[in-house]
Structure 1
Amino acid sequence: MSKELRSRVRDLAEEHAPATLTDRRHLHAHPELSFEEHETVAYVAGRLGEMGIPYRSVAGTGLVAEIGGGSGPTLALRADMDALPIQEANDVAYRSTKAGIMHACGHDVHTASLLGAARILAGVRDELKGTVRLLFQPGEEKLPGGATLMIRDGALQDPVPAAIFGQHVHPPLPAGTVGFRPGIYMASTDELFLTVRGRGGHGAMPHQSVDPIVITAQAITALQQLISRESDPTLPVVLTFGKIESEGGATNVIPNAVRLEGTLRTLDESWRKELHQRLRRTVEGIAAALGGSAELEIRHGYPFLKNDEPLTHWAQSAARELLGAEKVVDLPIRMTGEDFAFYTHHVPACFYRLGVGSPSPVHTDTFDVDEACLQTGSSLLAWLAMERLSQPAASNSK
């Protein structure tokens, strides 16, 4: 790709920066929960219409749009649009207008950046050597994940994209920087709902009861030993129970049942499947041995996220060309999850981090961003698509 076109991308990103900022602030002020993004998708559709970019509705509250056409491969860019059930504490002009709902995970930044990239790409559409498909996705924060519905509705079909790129805000990195990790990057995420049943009674006469709290305590210990003693120590696995509550009970009352909620995360699909069986066998066996019973519901979440290694190495190099080598960093493995993972199991994919320089982490009521990140986010998405379309490898992989 010529230096002239690279300069043009930077210039277009700067030219459209005010519109991208307006988009981000509007979206931040009007957040919507997963699969309820009706106002959001209408806003995005209106912006695409202003650019003359055709689109179609998918996944209930999602959109697929395309720029370019004719000969050449298709590449996809994805942004998620949903917010979280959090009451915003920031005192800013663009704070959430929706009680108890906030863009606390940066999806407003993702969507605004993709709209910004669309403006850049629309400005050079006659020079595109293929098609760029824009995926505006609902419901990343809630099972089954909006990505599954986008895929169901053909977002990766007719034709299958040669590659897909996605980005996510990263508070520790300053605005203007990005981070990459080739290969396996993020964990699978399953939700666990465990009920341990016993027989309640007086706390002073435990021999007349079957204490589900004691059973639960042993079950938790055994499950953590399962992770520490039976998992390959070189394979990251996390088991966390974040909620425990009894059905009744008091200082001198043994309850009838205890309920737990937790999460299981790993980076290997075979071991993930095996763990499901071992978890269930362990809790049922311990409960039965102590005179009670246990029921474990496992809600399958997102698979592990794997960045295509050649594609991601290439994307790192392309990012250095656009932003400068000092602005591109390497990332460690994360045990958090992302439904972008579903795309990575269908087509070559690269999911990277966008620095936003926030002192507050995501999913908190004070999360906000250095809005200089928007120009980086929009220009890099556009640049990756344009640069990749110009590569012979992209054409050959169609």
Structure 2
Amino acid sequence: MILKKRTKLLLSLCATACLLVPNGGAVLANSADSAYTMIDQRAKAIEQKLINWRHDIHQNPELGNREFRTSKLVADHLKSLGLEVRTNVAKTGVVGVLRGKQPGPVVALRADMDALPVVEQTDFPFKSTVKSEYNGMEVGVAHSCGHDTHTAILMAVAEVLTGMKDQLPGTVVFVFQPAEEGAPAGEEGGAKLMMKEGALDNPKPEAIFMLHTSSGMNVGQVSYVSGPSTASANAFKLNVKGSQTHGAMPWLGVDPIVVSSQIITAFQTIESRQVNVIKEPSVLSVGSIHGGNRNNIIPDEVDMEGTLRTYDEGMRQDILKRMERTATMIAESAGAKAKLTVEEGIPTVVNNPDLVAQMAPTLKRVVGEKNANVGKKGTAAEDFSFFSNEIPGMSVSFGVTAANEDPAKAAPNHSPLFKADDASLIVGTRVLANLAIDYLNSHKK
């Protein structure tokens, strides 16, 4: 009996030692459990490095298509790991390829790198004080949407999985994307341009995953949605031309301000009376209106801008047609003219239902059954949709509000007070690395 116990103990110690081989050494055990253990151990071993990356990126934020410093940091790290690296994809994007020593499928992991034109107001000791130019104006620059955490996490995942290269059953493509928040006026950028320039070609992934910060959850919690996850976004401009006259004699002209007010009200009638709200929600908002420069002059024209958010492509096209018809006919009824211009916009992110069903157990295993929940679709837009429209994709939200704070009171994304707790970084690293490993293992050729 004593001999048997000693033998079991020796075998246990041997197995543990096999998992702790330093410097990317082989994991001798082939089980899934050994891979999960290795991910946890390697992530923990580089946690301080991960935090340092995040702080560095946070203190040195860069706007879309201008992520020169960030992309160099990423590229240098990937090259140091021995990965195949492409730079200057979609201007400042970086793509790294890790080919495992075992044959298998290809999976992609994506992180966005750009910051926002926001003056940070947090109490972080590593807060941003950077200023830059945006649309011709001097602005503050800050990572108020958590892209600093996304980038640092994916850098860490690349290091963790590279250390497991010998056991990797397939290939992982690391996509570091610029300009998710939009390219500067007059420029292309973001996921659409990355696709155009072949970011997901050679090798072509069979699936793609991304993480996104959520201050609405505590650290350690994640959520996911099957089907439509974030809304499509179409910016629009509407010009209403009337006929200028004295404000005291409106009958001698055509008042574009009154016509514009009628159009804005009618647009909301599209939402409340013409769209099938049972099918999917939608939002139509006018956010800017300008016309005239004096109290007693009715101007020649009015310009307005707004946004349309939808989850269904058919509904999106239907609403746009109704907007065109509504604006044109109201303007004509008053003797004015209306011209609607709609930008191409960002499609809806649709999480592939089969992929979500397959990978949800991974999330529950990593963070616990109670901490992985089905979330709700959001009206924000995410250009990850350009990737997930081409191959099956899945976006996962992860909590970044400190465990001792109430997420209901936390500042939302894009707020100057938005904060992501450092403790969320290792959670995100474990989640993304485990998604990659489980996908590769379950899709072996």
Q: TM-score, normalised by structure 1?
A: 0.95
Q: Which moved more, 1:199-208 or 1:70-79?
A: 199-208
For residue 68 of structure 1, what is the amino acid of its counterpart? R
- 1:222 to 2:273 alignment: no
Q: Which moved more, 1:28-37 or 1:253-262?
A: 253-262
Measured after TM superposition, the shift of residue 230 of structure 1 is 1.5
**Who is 1:96 aligned against?**
128
Work out the number of aligned pairs and report it: 393
CA–CA separation in structure 2 for the residues paired with 1:43 and 1:230: 50
Q: Is the 8 A contact 2:91 2:189 kept in 1?
A: no
- Secondary structure at the residue paired with 1:79? strand
CA–CA separation in structure 2 for the residues paired with 1:157 and 1:83: 27
- 1:22 to 2:52 alignment: yes
**Who is 1:240 aligned against?**
285
CA–CA separation in structure 1 for the residues paired with 2:78 and 2:236: 40
Q: Which moved more, 1:183-192 or 1:265-274?
A: 265-274
Q: Is the 8 A contact 1:120 1:379 kept in 2?
A: no
**Who is 1:114 aligned against?**
154
Per-residue CA deviations over 1:113-170 (Å, capped at 9, x if unaligned) read: 1011111101111110000000000010115551111111112222321110001100
CA–CA separation in structure 2 for the residues paired with 1:343 and 1:247: 43
Measured after TM superposition, the shift of residue 97 of structure 1 is 3.4
Q: Is the 8 A contact 1:82 1:103 kept in 2?
A: yes
Per-residue CA deviations over 1:63-97 (Å, capped at 9, x if unaligned) read: 11011245211000000000111111123221113
**Who is 1:65 aligned against?**
96
Q: Percent identity?
A: 37
For residue 234 of structure 2, what is the amino acid of its counterpart? D
**Who is 2:182 aligned against?**
142
Aligned counterparts, 1:361-372, within 5 A: 361-372=412-423
Measured after TM superposition, the shift of residue 229 of structure 1 is 1.5
Q: Is the 8 A contact 1:68 1:126 kept in 2?
A: no
Q: Give ranges in structure 1 of 5+ residues lacking alignment.
A: none
For residue 86 of structure 1, what is the amino acid of its counterpart? V
Measured after TM superposition, the shift of residue 200 of structure 1 is 2.2
Q: Is the 8 A contact 1:116 1:379 kept in 2?
A: no
**Who is 1:13 aligned against?**
43
Per-residue CA deviations over 1:161-210 (Å, capped at 9, x if unaligned) read: 11100011000100111111111111110001111111222222111121
Measured after TM superposition, the shift of residue 111 of structure 1 is 0.3
Q: Which runs of 4+ in 1 moved over 6 A?
A: none
- 1:380 to 2:380 alignment: no
CA–CA separation in structure 1 for the residues paired with 2:154 and 2:208: 13
For residue 283 of structure 2, what is the amino acid of its counterpart? V
CA–CA separation in structure 1 for the residues paired with 2:398 and 2:48: 19
CA–CA separation in structure 2 for the residues paired with 1:361 and 1:274: 31
**Who is 2:67 aligned against?**
37
**Who is 1:178 aligned against?**
222
Q: Which moved more, 1:181-190 or 1:241-250?
A: 241-250
Measured after TM superposition, the shift of residue 12 of structure 1 is 1.1
Root mean square deviation of aligned Cα: 1.4
Measured after TM superposition, the shift of residue 50 of structure 1 is 2.5
**Who is 1:389 aligned against?**
440
**Who is 2:79 aligned against?**
49
CA–CA separation in structure 2 for the residues paired with 1:125 and 1:351: 25
**Who is 2:167 aligned against?**
127
**Who is 2:117 aligned against?**
85
User: Which structure's CA Rg is the greater one?
Assistant: 2
Q: Which moved more, 1:340-349 or 1:65-74?
A: 65-74
CA–CA separation in structure 1 for the residues paired with 2:64 and 2:90: 12
CA–CA separation in structure 1 for the residues paired with 2:147 and 2:426: 15
Measured after TM superposition, the shift of residue 355 of structure 1 is 0.6
**Who is 1:277 aligned against?**
321
Whose RCO is larger (CA < 8 A, sep 6+)?
A: 1
Aligned counterparts, 1:163-312, within 5 A: 163-234=207-278, 235-250=280-295, 252-312=296-356
Q: Give ranges in structure 2 of 5+ residues lacking alignment.
A: 1-30, 132-139, 402-406
CA–CA separation in structure 1 for the residues paired with 2:394 and 2:202: 21
Measured after TM superposition, the shift of residue 277 of structure 1 is 2.2
Per-residue CA deviations over 1:31-57 (Å, capped at 9, x if unaligned) read: 111111111101111222232222112
Q: Is the 8 A contact 1:137 1:146 kept in 2?
A: yes
Per-residue CA deviations over 1:351-396 (Å, capped at 9, x if unaligned) read: 11011016111111111111111001111111110111011xx245
Measured after TM superposition, the shift of residue 346 of structure 1 is 0.6
- Secondary structure at the residue paired with 1:130? strand
CA–CA separation in structure 1 for the residues paired with 2:54 and 2:245: 57
Q: Is the 8 A contact 2:182 2:189 kept in 1?
A: yes
Q: TM-score, normalised by structure 2?
A: 0.86
CA–CA separation in structure 2 for the residues paired with 1:177 and 1:119: 23
